[in-house]
Chains A and B, each alone.
Chain A
Amino acid sequence: MNPVLNNKLKSTPPRKKRRGSFIERTLSTLIRKTERALFAEELARKEGFLQKLDPRVKIIGLLALIVDATLARNFFTIIFIFAIAVILAILSHVPLRMLAVRTWLSVLTFTGTIAFPVIFITPGDTLFRLPLLGWTITAQGVTSALYLLLRVETTVTLSLLLVLCTLWTHVLKGLRVLGVPVVFVVILGMTYRYIFVMLETARNMFEARQSRLIGSLDAREGRRIAAASIGVLLTKSFYLNTEVFMAMQSRGFRGEVYTLDDFKMRGRDWLALAAFLLLALAGFWFGRQDSLQSFVNLHF
């Protein structure tokens, strides 16, 4: 091997090699995104409970539960909604292992880190005093940290169920029910399609660069490459825009947008809608009760 290259390779610190250059890291992010979207697509085609429901029912029902979970003023309600989310996940063949590792654990580490100091700094009734440091853990602090964690776990699980169990085309159509203007829905749909074109383009660009790279990049050069890649992507998206626009015009596009609304509510959908609304109302009512909370506080 060329001695210069050899030296350059040797001089790369092993730690940096394992972490990979920013190009490798960007590549893995891009690939992970695509994979996740493909996985969601695959899951959305399975024959599960949520998958079979009319998307409008799904969106309204899951959104109502998310709002309930954010409104609730006691733990029981949030835990109750979380339990519903888990049952829905099982009924819809969402692998719990994946939910636990990818969602619950990552929320626990991220939000947990943010919430942890709260148990010491929130003023309130002392629960426990740390022996050496003299810091006090307050009941209010623990309550507050738990609120944040439970709420985030529950809402993230619910919105993930929506993402995983609905074909994206159905989500778009469902959005119209919520009063989102047609033009926005169409833009969303086109954006979603072109995201994959762009992800692919970006991946190709970085793979091409990575395959020509020996040794490590210094940060300055890395920043230059990152900025130039974004610039190239920007220029490419402009070209693509011109092409797409011409294609649309050639098919008669004049700025008006029409979508097909071919959903049909069946008996099962009406039942599910009723069940969702009932649960949401119950959650809303129980969520308002502070008395449940004071019961928890007394026995904490």
Chain B
Amino acid sequence: MHIPDGYLSPVTCAVLYAAAAPFWAIALRRVKRLLNTKLVPLLSLFAAFSFVIMMFNIPLPGGTTGHAVGVGIATIVLGPWGSMLAISVALLIQALFFGDGGITAFGANCFNMAIVGSLVANAVYRTIGRGAAITSPRRVVAASLAGYAAINAAAFCASIEFGIQPLLFHDASGAPLYAPYPLSIAVPAMMIGHLTFAGLAELITAGGVVAYLQRSDSSLLKLTAPDAPDKNSIEKSGWRVTRPLWIGLAALMILTPLGLLAAGTAWGEWSAQDFADPTVREQIANASQNQAPPAEPPKGLVRLSSVWTAPIPDYAPPFMNSAEFGYIMSAMFGTGLIIAVFLLGGWIAGLINRGSKNAPPETGND
């Protein structure tokens, strides 16, 4: 990915320097406004960090290892503009002090990795992670994909830069002067490598580090997640967590008339009058292995059944013509009653809790 000198024509290099310059200028102005005097140490340390993690060997599936540029994680922690500057400085140090990556191709390397990489990582991370809590697993997925997309976008830019060289720059005999492969070879060759292996190193780095930071120091993830709901508001709304339960409950209510499909009365749920009705007596006998029910309703049943008269007997309010609708109405009414009881209980418990919390200072984690 680090393009050395000699692969790109000076004209291409100049164009890419020119393309990178406005981004550097904007990034510098934005980051300066944000950080003020903190700019110099923060950028320096982050550039040093980016430089060092480029040295890390990341174990990849299949037993090989690869290097990550770190543009994904830098964008998530620093934001796209900070990441642009930090990665650019790291690349410049590599070129100037360690001889890795070209000096004339420095603009191209920055354009591909620092600028395009940061912008793509930012777009992907913000889109996929939108609205997710800081510690949500969705942020890990978003970070992984952001790193993967960023490095592939950078590789794609590099492959285009390589691919246009033979078109534009060749000698009198037609021999390419710089990177010799046309677009039809350069693009697939670069992209196959990055879509499969090189991209994975970035994917693992970005996703893994975000997962680690979620556990250890989630404050570092806050800059690029301004829309993340904080824990308290989740507790208040509760809708997201309990949504599947509510949907299930609604489905069950709608399905309540299924009970009408069953023939006869439910075994053991007889009322006192049922013992006098000959058709119901027959049903009771059929359901009880042909054992005839007693001629008289049990005395205790008669006595106790008069204690309480249900407002909606047999789930069918007397004013209701449709039995199905009656069932659904009864289900809604019953469920609503249960929820109301629990809400009331919760409110009372909350009142009691608040009273006791005010006394000792808070010690636990929030």
Contact = CB atoms under 8 A, between A and B. Distances in A.
Interface stretch (B86-94, B256-264, B343-351): B86-94
A144 B65 contact: no
Nearest to A186: B40
Given A69-B6, A73-B177, A230 B73 contact: yes
Interface string B176-199: 111111000100000000000000
A226 B98 contact: no
B48 A37 contact: no
A143 B6 contact: no
Contact of A244 (B28, B39, B45): B45
B176 A198 contact: no
B220 interface: yes
Most buried by A among B6, B99, B171: B6
A66 interface: yes
B180 A145 contact: yes
B89 A187 contact: yes
Contacts of B175: 122, 124, 139-141, 143-144, 147
A155 B104 CA distance: 9
A195 B53 CA distance: 10
The size bracket of the interface on A is 35 or more
B47 interface: yes
The size bracket of the interface on B is 35 or more
B217 interface: yes
Interface stretch (B108-116, B205-213, B301-309, B355-363): B205-213
A123 B173 CA distance: 11
Contacts of A118: 176, 180-181
B46 interface: yes
Most buried by B among A122, A162, A294: A122
B77 interface: yes
B42 A241 contact: yes
Given A73-B171, A194-B48, A237-B48, A148 B179 contact: yes
Interface string A22-45: 100110011001001100100000
A234 B206 CA distance: 12
Interface stretch (A89-97, A217-225, A266-274): A217-225
Contact of B204 (A16, A148, A195, A227): A227
Interface in B1-49: 4-10, 13, 28, 36-49
B174 interface: yes
Contact of A195 (B52, B59, B96, B171): B52
B58 interface: yes
A205 to B, nearest CB: 11
A293 B171 CA distance: 8
Contacts of A140: 173-176
Contacts of B171: 73-74, 143, 290, 293
Contacts of A143: 171, 173, 175
B65 A151 contact: no
B313 interface: no
A190 interface: yes
Interface string B302-344: 0000000000000000000000000000000000000000000
Contacts of B95: 159
B90 A191 contact: yes
Given A26-B56, A235-B220, A36 B98 contact: yes
A263 interface: no
A1 interface: no
A245 B174 contact: no
A25 B10 contact: no
A244 B46 CA distance: 13
Contacts of B39: 183, 255
A105 interface: no
B97 interface: yes
B44 A190 contact: yes
Nearest to A184: B89
A195 B60 contact: no
Contact of A198 (B51, B61, B63, B172): B51
Given A66-B103, A147-B178, A223-B58, A245 B42 contact: yes
Contacts of B36: 255
A188 interface: yes
B48 A191 contact: yes
Contact of A159 (B103, B180, B220): B103
Contacts of A22: 57-59, 65
A232 to B, nearest CB: 8
A154 B6 contact: yes
Contacts of A241: 38, 41-42, 45-46
Nearest to B217: A235
Contacts of A187: 40, 43-44, 47, 89
Nearest to B96: A171
A29 B217 CA distance: 28
A231 B209 contact: yes
B232 interface: no
Contacts of A25: 57, 65
Contacts of A244: 41, 44-45
20 contacts: A22-B65, A33-B98, A66-B103, A70-B6, A122-B180, A125-B173, A140-B175, A151-B178, A183-B39, A191-B47, A191-B48, A192-B48, A195-B48, A202-B55, A219-B59, A228-B212, A231-B217, A254-B37, A294-B172, A297-B173
Interface of A: 16, 22, 25-26, 29-30, 33, 36-37, 40, 63, 66-67, 69-71, 73-74, 107, 111, 115, 118, 121-125, 139-141, 143-145, 147-148, 151-152, 154-156, 159-160, 162-163, 168, 171, 175, 183-184, 186-188, 190-192, 194-195, 197-199, 202, 217, 219, 222-224, 226-235, 237-238, 240-241, 244-245, 248-249, 253-255, 257, 290, 293-294, 297
Given A219-B63, A245-B41, 16 more contacts: A122-B180, A141-B180, A143-B171, A143-B175, A144-B177, A148-B6, A162-B96, A171-B96, A191-B93, A195-B93, A202-B55, A231-B213, A233-B52, A235-B216, A237-B45, A248-B40
